[in-house]
Structure 1
Amino acid sequence: MKNLLNESCVIEEISKLKEKGKQIDACVSFIDPYISYAARISMHLGLAQISVESLLLMENKVAVRERLNNLPITPFYTVFHPGDSLKEVEKKCKSFYPIIIKPPISNGSKDVLFVENVEKFEKALNHLHQKYPNSPLLIEEFLLGPQYLLEILVYNNDIKVVGVIEQEVLYNGRFIVIGYKFPAMISMDEYKDLYECVSSIVEQTGLSTGSCHLEMKFVHGEWKMIEINPRMSGGVMNQIIEEGTGINLVKEILKVNLGEEPTLIETEKKHVYARYLTIGSSGRLLKVTGKELALTHEGVKYVYIKPLLGRILTNPYSMGNRYACVVASSDSEERAKEIALAAAREIKFYLEPY
């Protein structure tokens, strides 16, 4: 059909399929910004009752901050609305540099700007305001500390933390995650505090059935929420969790969207490390070599090359500028990372200057 974003048209097409004898069991999306949209259609069709309002809330980063404002996981933030005084916003932020500025619908670190001082504040804010002239902009303090990604699955108010993954972030004025360590090596006390934070976030956002992922930082002995997204993390996250635990998270999320209880039983217990590759220059891709060599390294489970020949590659400005990934597993955290890094060094991108 021509217009997938016209809800009434989609429902009409589904009705036609049902009239032809087709059985419709689920309506689900793993892609921003269609998560709540698919859940709403599911509810309309009388299928699995996913927490539509909660997912819709999570699609807006400003709305989430305002909902969770009373929780200790919330760092300093303020919101710049079109028409607000730049000087007044500067005053609010002066004690919190460096800061982060981002639009409320950002994903994959797209248009997330790191601002070191007041001199760069106005330029960064004006840049995003020009790009999103009718949208508020979220301004947050930048938090120093290890960063973690949490995969969450909720079924009938039963909260399951399927995985806690430590992230390695490349700070280049943007925030590009280039490494994932699973499982994250945190203490039992830290995990207990983390689970309490997750529970409070899930409760306040109203997620009773559905999936999401959180990004958290551990700052001076306290957990702080970087952001929440109403879906599982993209990229190779499913491979990471499956190699480490035996759980196919995509399959279990689909079961929840079919109205079935998920089965989260670990059949594996491995350390997994995923390494993403970026490049330091721009150009037209001529060829990529080394994938087969990377796969020969013992412990390498998956190698992914993203761009097609002829595409223009650039320095990383968002997660979309990660051009390859190697996933390795082992019985130790150190060995899994060592294998992945060695395999990643086999991959070479050849560019024509552009």
Structure 2
Amino acid sequence: MQTIVFIGSNKSGTSREALTISNEMGYFTVLLTNRKSFIRQMKEFPEVHRIIYVEDLLDKDHILSIIKDLEQEKCQIKAVISFIDPFVAFAGRISQELDLVYLSNDALAIMEEKNLVRKHFKKNPVSPKYTVYHYDESIDEIMKEFDDSFPLVLKSPVSNGSKDVLPVKSTEELKEGLKYLKKRTPNKTVLIEEYLMGPQYLIEVMVVNGEISIIAVIEQDILNGTRFIITGYSYPALLSFDESKTLQSAVFHIIQQLELVNGTCHLEMRNVKGQWKLIEINPRMSGGAMNRIIEEGTGINLVKETIKLFLGLEPVLEKTVMKYVYAKFLTIQSKGKLIKVTGKNRALKHDGVTEVFVKPRKGAILREPQSLGDRYAYVIAVADSAIKAKEIASKAADEIKFYLDPL
């Protein structure tokens, strides 16, 4: 049996789609997971032929032992893949050790650690002003580097999905933020960066044998508040010719400086007074509804083409359609136990709506947004203009109501 082994997955989004697409491509699909709930919920993963619980998904010897057992069961391992942090570079190294496919694992590993990213691009103009704070250092000394300039942004070096990323507006908030992150994460350092003002964009990239392809540039709408929660994605981003040209130049420079020859990544960048600045870069395509957004707008199923890359096959990245797409994500403003959700069917009836997804089940505990994981539904709409697509998605999203038992 030709087999693909996936290291880690979320319950929904890009990583889950990868399991479904692997099955549709005719592969025996194996999921290694550190989430015990997935073992209990095996029937909810009909696209997966086998789910194996692994407490430590970075235990190389254990993973190789499982793969050896699969091979003894007549599984022909064709790829080892991960679509979620922090397992992307690790899966690439396993693939290389099994002589499956060559990926740029050193570049992927740099992208998994924010401190390494900033160090790598320190002399690149795309990098914001930053410092790495060690918990035994004096905050006063750190502040001298920023000339007491607020606001600033605090980041855990291994955060993803906007988890453990805090804007701070004063010395007191800085101290409280550092205290919070020290409790939240096992890291001994925190990344402190200048706060960059300007519109933010997500750029999906695939590199095959050194050839860089920008698959999509998507403008992001960010929820006002204490965290960087993205509530809207608009494809394609409406950039001027000069903006597109300078963005492409910046992205190509970043990829080349990373020496990424084979692999995928997505970047988040801000246009700060005409200069592109790198907010972050991750060694995988973006999660959530990104694959659906790109497929609706371009005709490219980027998850499928990424799997093909891991299989050593030639990805097909030709755009076959051109549509304006808007994805509207929903959050809530108070904590509570979910009683019910209404309006999904009404939202689907709006002309132009192609998908409505509601994530939580009855009885789930919901909260105000602290990370991208706290977005509880989305609506995707397509139209013949960016304004119309956003209008349709927003009106349809208004149909969805969450009823909570307050906590």
**Deviation string for 1:76-122 (max 9, x for gaps)?**
00110131122111222234311100110011111111101223222
Residue pair 1:165, 1:184 contacting (<8 A) in 2 also: yes
Do 1:82 and 1:134's aligned partners in 2 also have CA atoms closer than 8 Å? no
Residue of structure 1 equivalent to 2:312 = 259
Q: Deviations over 1:144-181 (max 9, x none)?
A: 10000000000011000000000000131111000000
CA distance in 2, matches of 1:2, 1:237: 27
Q: Which one is further off, 12-21 or 84-93?
A: 12-21
Match of 1:308 among 349, 352, 361: 361
Structure 1 residue ranges without an equivalent (≥5): none
Q: Of residues 219, 236, 239 in structure 1, which corresponds to 2:292?
A: 239
* Contact 2:156–2:187, Cα closer than 8 Å, also in 1: no
Q: Quote the Cα distance in structure 1 between the aligned partners of 2:187 and 2:286.
A: 28
Partner of 1:296: 349
Written as runs of structure 1 = structure 2, the 5 A alignment for 1:80-99 is 80-99=133-152
Contact 1:58 1:64 in 2 (8 A): yes
Aligned pair partner of 2:331 in 261, 265, 278? 278
Residues 1:219 and 2:272 are matched in the alignment: yes
Match of 1:9 in 2: 62
Residues 134, 106 of structure 1: CA spacing in aligned structure 2 closer, same or farther, 3 A cutoff? closer
Tell me, yes or no, if the aligned pair for 2:157 and 2:187 is still in contact at 8 Å: no
Distance 1:134 1:183 in 2: 37
1:202 maps to 2:239: no
Residue of structure 2 in register with 1:35 after alignment:
88
Give the 5 Å matches for 1:149-164. 149-164=202-217
3-state SS of paired residue (1:26):
strand
Q: Matched residues, percent identical? A: 50
Match of 2:234 in 1: 181
Question: In 2, Cα distance between the equivalents of 1:190 and 1:45?
Answer: 43
TM-score when normalising by structure 1: 0.98
1:260-317 Cα deviation digits (max 9, x unpaired): 2211111110000000000111110000000011001110011110111101111111
Distance 2:143 2:59 in 1: 40
Q: Against the structure 1 CA distance between its residues 136 and 303, is the aligned structure 2 distance closer, same or farther, given a 3 Å change threshold?
A: same
1:317 and 2:370 aligned: yes
**One-letter code aligned to 1:107:** N
Which of 330, 342, 345 is the aligned partner of 2:395?
A: 342
Q: Kindly tell me: are residues 133 and 13 of structure 1, through their superposed partners in 2, closer, same or farther at Cα, counting changes over 3 Å? A: closer
Could you tell me whether the CA contact under 8 Å between 1:109 and 1:176 is conserved in 2? yes
Corresponding residue of 2:153: 100
The CA deviation at 1:22 is: 1.6
Q: CA deviation at 1:9?
A: 1.7
Which of 161, 174, 178 is the matching residue for 1:125?
178
Partner residue of 2:99 out of 16, 28, 46? 46
Read off the aligned partner of 1:204 and give its amino acid letter: Q
Q: SS at the partner of 1:66? A: helix
Unmatched 5+ residue regions in structure 2? Answer: 1-51
Runs of 4+ aligned structure 1 residues displaced above 6 Å come to none
1:78 aligns with 2:131: yes
Q: Which amino acid aligns with 1:303?
A: V
- 3-state SS of the aligned residue for 2:337? strand
Query: Which deviates more from structure 2 when the two are superposed, residues 223-232 or residues 201-210?
Result: 201-210
Q: CA RMSD in A?
A: 1.2
Measure, in 2, the Cα distance between the counterparts of 1:53 and 1:5.
Answer: 16
Indicate whether 1:249 and 2:286 are aligned: no
8 A contact 1:295–1:303 mirrored in 2: yes
Q: Which residue identity lines up with residue 270 of structure 2 in the other structure?
A: K
User: How far does the alpha carbon of each residue in 1:172-191 deviate from its partner, in whole angstroms, 9 at most, with x for none?
Assistant: 11110000000000012111
Return the letter of the residue paired with 2:383: S
Tell me how far apart the structure 1 counterparts of residues 397 and 377 of structure 2 sit (CA, whole Å).
9
**Distance in 2 of aligned mates of 1:277 and 1:20:** 45
State the secondary structure of the residue aligned to 2:76. coil
Asked whether the 8 Å contact 2:340–2:362 carries over to 1, the reply is: yes
User: What is the deviation of 1:126?
Assistant: 2.0
SS in 2 for 1:223: strand
C-alpha displacement of 1:2: 4.4
Give 3-state SS (helix, strand or coil) of 1:5's partner: coil
State the TM-score, normalized to the length of structure 2: 0.85
Instruction: Give distance in 1, aligned partners of 2:179 and 2:173.
Output: 10
